[in-house]
Amino acid sequence: MVPMNKISRGLLTLGAATSLAILPACGSSSGSSSSTNGSSTSGKQLKIVTAFYPFQYATQQVTGDKADVSSLTAPGAEPHELELTARQVAELSKADLVIYEKGFQGAVDKAVEQAEPKNVLDVSTLVDPIPATGVDEDGHAASGNDPHIWLAPKNMQAITKGIADKVKTIDQADAAAIDENLKKADTAFSDLDKEFTTGLGTCQRKDFITSHAAFAYLAKAYGLNQIGISGLSPDEEPSPARIAEVQGLAKSKGITTIFYETLVSPAQAESIAGDLKLRTDVLDPIEGITKDSKGTDYIAVQQANLAALKTANGCK
């Protein structure tokens, strides 16, 4: 799974000032919970804490104004390396529901164990996993499963349904409203899936190169092949041998574009692209929304990803 021991780039050591208020976010879904009270909480908003943006977005779609949804990961911060303050850990114990992906953010896993929230949802149980592939910066084969489950729209459908089902066990009185919201969200993700299926249905190339190997679920869903410069962690530095291998693949497969992402440095992608006289573009793993994102929410950024892939791969 993604290495959790690398604290680099100064992206996120959340200080006391940041931690005084957990930022708006949304949740994930899954089947495990430490307890489920089954009672109606009508008349007050549920307090739901999510690990980072994709689960924040999904939770907000199904809860609407029925919940106060917050995120442990600040906008613009790289979620792989999240650190939590004592205040944030304490907040988990007060939440009606905590939504996260076990194994993706070590700090969140540990905080959930310490805080013992009333209800917990691990979204990793809601989709079929893809085994991790490639090697890390030390040349060791990747192990475990790829955690980037949210990048396939159909997976987001499953995650959102799981969230809705879980929330309804906590707030039975608002079940009808949650079901109505779920129908709208499901339609939006289904329409997005159709856009990808049509847009990537006929392409000159099936391979694409990205700085961070986060797109295995997306690639598998639409018949593409991801070539990652680094592995599952965007913090990994590729070896000279790996860079040479990627350059060779780019030449042999007629690659036109080297993709990078918004939350990490584009230097490596730009270097490889410059050496081969290729263009660069953003392929966003949607781990957070910032002013540099090509869209203001999950759907819009995925549509930008689709447009970038269509251009790079000569899709008609």
DSSP category for residue 10: T
What is the structure's pLDDT at 141?
A: 56
What is the structure's pLDDT at 149?
A: 98
Instruction: Label residue 26 by pLDDT band (50, 70, 90).
Output: very low
**Average confidence (pLDDT) over 43-67:** 95
Q: Which is more confidently placed, 236 or 74?
A: 74
What is the structure's pLDDT at 44?
A: 80
Rounded (10°) angle between helices 267-276 and 240-252: 50
SS3 state at 126: helix
Would you say 75 and 296 are in contact if contact means Cβ atoms under 8 Å apart? no
pLDDT at 39 over 90: no
Query: Which pLDDT tens digit goes with each residue over 176-221?
Result: 999 999 999 999 999 999 999 999 999 999 999 999 899 999 999 9
Confidence (pTM): 0.84
pLDDT at 36 over 50: no
Instruction: Label residue 139 by pLDDT band (50, 70, 90).
Output: low
Backbone angles phi, psi at 136, to 5 degrees: -85, -175
pLDDT at 33 over 50: no
Question: Which is nearest to 200 in space by CA: 310, 70, 40?
Answer: 310
pLDDT at 249 over 60: yes
CA–chain centroid gap for 304, Å, is 16
SS3 state at 122: strand
pLDDT at 245 over 90: yes
Look at phi and psi of residue 64 and say left if phi exceeds 0, alpha if psi is from -120 to 50, else beta: left
Residue 136 one-letter amino acid = D
Instruction: Label residue 294 by pLDDT band (50, 70, 90).
Output: very high
